Structure 1
Amino acid sequence: MSHLKYDQILIDIVAYVYHARIESPLAYSRARIALLDSLGCAIESLAHSAEARKLIGPVIPGTIVPHGFKLPGTSLSLDPVKGAFDLGSLIRYLDHNDAYPGAEWGHPSDNLGAIIAVADWLSRSHAGGVENTKPLTLKDVLVAQIKAYEIQGIFQLKNAFNKRGLDHTILVKVASTAVVAHLMGLSEDQALAALSHAWQDGHPLRAFRQSPNAGPRKGWAAGDACSRAVHLCLLVRAGQPGAPSVLTAPKWGFYDAMFGGEEFKLPRPYGSFVIEFHFFKLIAAEGHTISAVDAAVQVAATMKQKGLNVNDIAKVTIRTQQAGKVITDKPGPLSNAADRDHCMQYIVAVTLLKGSFIEAKDYDNDSPWATDPLVEELRGKMTVEEDEQFTKDYHDQKVRSGANAVRVEMKNNEEKLEAEVHFPIGHPRHPETLRLVNEKFTVNMNKGGFDDTAIQRLRETVENDDLPVHDFIDMFAREVDLKN
């Protein structure tokens, strides 16, 4: 055992996970909604994406793991490492799960891939009489979920990993490692060791989200982080020691090697803030663009009302936050769905042409929009600009907006139409958000073959804190053809 004291950042995370009591009724209420929403996103991915279906299942086809994790939407029984990868990937694949903004934008529900895979596996193992396991309930999942959201979100507020070329899923790996260690029953010393490995692990570059290398890896990056978290906890459970000064060690620690010598800024203590104020993605688009979709729908409606044609547009100006410009301003060629759903110009162009919200299928290579010359013509007329006030309000903890504005100028130079949206649907300050999240869950579950009776049972069952985790996950079981 090392004689060194662990870095204080790690000590604080483990103390929070192992000792903090979550009392907020709002936190639990939002966690239940987010849990259903995330599982609905996984079902949607299974139903919609052949690309995602090819990624899931045991490493060796036909393998059935005794007391294994039952992947929702399927009949597969998987080990928790591959199971965490599969569920994390399915929740994230269509870029439709919830999000949280800050200096770093991320998706805290990504952590549910690790949390649910481990909790379900342990719950089944306990029910099957396997030694060294403990009973786990839906309440245990909700607490782990709230704490993983909080860890990831608090780091995102002031620490921009993207500016260092690192992908935000590093925080999924860190948060998932901390809560999974607790679910597995590891000691606090073991949790510290596992957490240190999460920080000294190899970290993904952000290249797969940015031109010219944007690709489908962004759909399974969260699953990869989930699987790493579970694997690291299992390695520590098997006796691997940690690295106490993983952040602060001169030259070789994370701060010097990966973060330009800067230390993390954590502006508030861990509690339940993030789960209470995260953003539900009700439109299948990169998070910084969602209010632009909302604005574009309004502009399209005004054009229709005035008898104006999209062909008569001379110029489109999009005002956005600084983060939105950096991440989604893509004027060049787009090569795949992952490229398109992170392109502000493509998203706004398709929305203007449709006159309605863009959908996941509109990004696919075989979508008519992907090869429509009108889309490219419109993209060529677009300028994306940072609005400094939008950026300020985006970072202001009292405002926390995600504003965009879309302005269309017509060729006749007489009409200039603009819509500005600060709190789009899905934002915690939008009055219709929770109703629409409920509708989204129904639609996604219907896509996976679940009828309204089964869906209502799930809504009722998620309120049962004492239910064994595996009994809840069994309600999502379905036969699905993974080859087509």
Structure 2
Amino acid sequence: MSDRFSRLLANYTVTIDREQLPAETIHEVKRRILDTLGVALAAGSGAAPQAASAYAATFATSSGALLWGTRIRVPPEMAAFANGVQVRYLDFNDTYLSLEPLHPSDLIPALWALAEWKRLSGPALLTAVAIAYEIAVTLCDAASLRRHGWDHVNYIGIGAACGAGKLLGLEASQIEQAIAITTVAHAAMRQTRVGELSMWKGAAAADAARHGIFAALLARHGFTGPSSPFNGEMGFFRQVLQGESFAPGPLRPLEEMTPPRRILDTHIKYWPVEYHAQSAVDAALQLRSQLSDPARLASVHIETFQAAYEIIAKDPEKWAPRTRETADHSLPYIVLAALLDGEVTPATFLPHRIQDPHLRHLLTRETTLVEN
């Protein structure tokens, strides 16, 4: 038995077609695909992408999707995961901020892999990406996951299941099954993003997207998912949202079958850091231009807002980062690096820079004030 929320998402997915996409949406989907490929290529030599690609390569086949940066083909689920890790590794892909933050281009590697494997057209991929963005971004407006201790990538999984269903030409009833499988079986915890961050910080979304296309492929062959995934007795609302439901307002455009436009509300990053630190880098570089000798810094005081504090400054590990994943989510580290180096690039987060004695000493002389 379905529920009205999975039915809504499935009906929207099957109803929207290529001819309904606004020109602005098509343009932005193309921009996001180019941005996604760019950040993936820049990350290819990183430790996590290398490990994920090596794992995926053990499933090499002659008829799958390419592992980006290689000539190796693997099943689409494996390519979705490995290429997704590559996209997310540098923390450089796009962002959406609402009740729940999201990096919606995490959807693209999975949908690309499925389209490549099925030899589908470019317009088919553009349509699937636009729909997946619309659904995932809308869900971010409808309810917060992190407030209840769950990770934003749960919305990536749902968006991927819908986008994959569109690519596979599934009926609405089949897409409902894919949504149910994804939603119930893949509840990702926010623990991924607190304390000292590991490689999984950049892999959680790739895994959710992988699971989304896996669920759609299962549904294509008649596999059924749990009933009432959202409003069931032990479903998403009761377990993940602790009794809350989706706010009705944000869902209304989906109910009205409004053509996809939400991708226009997402943002491409300028700096390879967590999105709340983008303005901090700008401010630090502007301040640096006024310093006679940045190397003589004695202390730094940062005033920031609540969301930035909670995500990139609250944890003790953010004040003494040991991993690149923690460092690119550390407001104190990012600001100091910008002040000392005059730039923030992927090299800012290499091990030798993170462990620099002078920088680590200055971290102990840095303070933060949260402004209401």
Common fold, TM-score beyond 0.5? yes
Q: Which residue of 2 aligns with 1:227?
A: 210
Shift of 1:310: 4.6
Given that 1:84 and 1:226 are in contact with CA atoms closer than 8 Å, whether structure 2 keeps it comes out as yes
**3-state DSSP class of the match of 1:178?**
helix
Residues in 2 aligned to 1:360 and 1:59: alpha-carbon distance in whole angstroms? 24
Identity %: 26
C-alpha RMSD of the superposition: 1.8
Q: Which residue of 2 aligns with 1:52?
A: 49
Q: Which residue of 2 aligns with 1:293?
A: 281
Alignment length (residue pairs): 361
Indicate whether 1:362 and 2:345 are aligned: no
Q: Which residue of 2 aligns with 1:114?
A: 110
| 1:50-449 map, 5 Å | 50-57=47-54, 59=56, 61=58, 63-123=59-119, 136-212=120-196, 214-250=197-233, 252-268=234-250, 269-270=253-254, 271-303=259-291, 307-320=292-305, 322-329=306-313, 330-331=315-316, 332-356=319-343, 358-365=344-351, 367=352, 369-388=353-372
Which amino acid in 1 is paired with 2:48?
E
Given that 1:14 and 1:188 are in contact with CA atoms closer than 8 Å, whether structure 2 keeps it comes out as yes
Residues in 2 aligned to 1:151 and 1:117: alpha-carbon distance in whole angstroms? 20
Residues in 2 aligned to 1:189 and 1:113: alpha-carbon distance in whole angstroms? 25
Deviation per CA, 1:261-310, whole angstroms, max 9, x where unpaired? 0001253324433211211012110111111011110010111xxx2545
Given that 1:95 and 1:219 are in contact with CA atoms closer than 8 Å, whether structure 2 keeps it comes out as yes
Residues in 2 aligned to 1:170 and 1:59: alpha-carbon distance in whole angstroms? 22
Q: Which residue of 1 aligns with 2:40?
A: 42
Which amino acid in 2 is paired with 1:318?
E
Given that 1:58 and 1:78 are in contact with CA atoms closer than 8 Å, whether structure 2 keeps it comes out as no
Q: Which residue of 2 aligns with 1:420?
A: none
| 1:16-35 map, 5 Å | 16-21=12-17, 22-35=20-33
Decide which structure has greater helix share: 2
Which amino acid in 2 is paired with 1:275?
I
Q: Which residue of 2 aligns with 1:13?
A: 9
Alignment CA distance shift 1:314-1:86 (3 Å): closer
Residues in 2 aligned to 1:190 and 1:208: alpha-carbon distance in whole angstroms? 31
Which amino acid in 2 is paired with 1:216?
M
Shift of 1:20: 2.2
**3-state DSSP class of the match of 2:302?**
strand
Given that 1:155 and 1:265 are in contact with CA atoms closer than 8 Å, whether structure 2 keeps it comes out as no
**3-state DSSP class of the match of 2:53?**
coil
Shift of 1:179: 1.2
Residues in 1 aligned to 2:262 and 2:198: alpha-carbon distance in whole angstroms? 29
Residues in 2 aligned to 1:261 and 1:224: alpha-carbon distance in whole angstroms? 26
Residues in 1 aligned to 2:226 and 2:37: alpha-carbon distance in whole angstroms? 35
Residues in 2 aligned to 1:296 and 1:381: alpha-carbon distance in whole angstroms? 16
Query: Relative contact order, CA 8 A, sep 6+: which one is greater?
Result: 1
**3-state DSSP class of the match of 2:187?**
coil
**3-state DSSP class of the match of 2:249?**
coil
Shift of 1:115: 0.5
More off after superposition, 147-156 vs 237-246: 237-246
Deviation per CA, 1:242-266, whole angstroms, max 9, x where unpaired? 233111122x111112211000125
What stretches of structure 2 of length at least 5 have no aligned partner? none
What stretches of structure 1 of length at least 5 have no aligned partner? 124-135, 389-484
Shift of 1:170: 0.7
Shift of 1:188: 1.2
Given that 1:319 and 1:385 are in contact with CA atoms closer than 8 Å, whether structure 2 keeps it comes out as yes
TM-score (norm 2): 0.92
Given that 1:318 and 1:382 are in contact with CA atoms closer than 8 Å, whether structure 2 keeps it comes out as no
**3-state DSSP class of the match of 2:290?**
helix
Which amino acid in 2 is paired with 1:362?
T
Alignment CA distance shift 1:57-1:79 (3 Å): farther
Given that 1:155 and 1:266 are in contact with CA atoms closer than 8 Å, whether structure 2 keeps it comes out as no
Residues in 1 aligned to 2:81 and 2:99: alpha-carbon distance in whole angstroms? 26
Shift of 1:57: 4.4
TM-score (norm 1): 0.71
